[in-house]
Homo-oligomer: A and B are copies of this chain.
Amino acid sequence: MVKLDDTELDRTFAALADPTRRALLARLGSQDGASVSELAEPFPVSLPAILKHLNVLSDAGLITRQKTGRTVTCRLNAGPMADAMAWLDHYQQFWSTRLDRLTEFVENDPS
């Protein structure tokens, strides 16, 4: 939410541009912490392929990896998404006034 370095936005959007990576993030959103092999299991691709995706997500700062013993636990780090969302937010005026009440709620929230 802090440094709006452009290359960071680049990496964030690029990381989100792949369905496998979005699925990985979704998994980490619904389950707090998962091992690499656990994450890879549902996908029909090799483990190294998933590793590469995880590296992209790490480089974008969207996940963190913590090694304990021989297993590595991945966790969601949604911070960069907030920056992406903030960027998109500037264009909300262009997709017609009514947005879902959820966003409205957040933005009108006085705290």
Residues of A whose CB lies within 8 Å of any CB of B are 1, 6-7, 9-11, 13-14, 16-19, 22, 25-26, 29, 76, 78-79, 81-82, 84-92, 94-96, 98-103, 105-106, 109, 111
- Is the CB–CB distance between B98 and A109 below 8 Å? yes
Complex Cα gap A76–B99 (Å): 15
As for how many copies of this chain the complex holds, the number is 2
Q: What residues on B are CB-neighbors of A11 within 8 Å?
A: 17
Are A87 and B22 CB-contacts (below 8 A) given A10-B17, A17-B17? yes
Contacts of A103 in B (CB 8 A): 85, 89
Q: Are A106 and B98 in contact (CB under 8 A)?
A: yes
Q: Check B106 against A25 for contact (C-beta < 8 Å).
A: no
CB distance from A85 to the nearest CB of B (A): 5
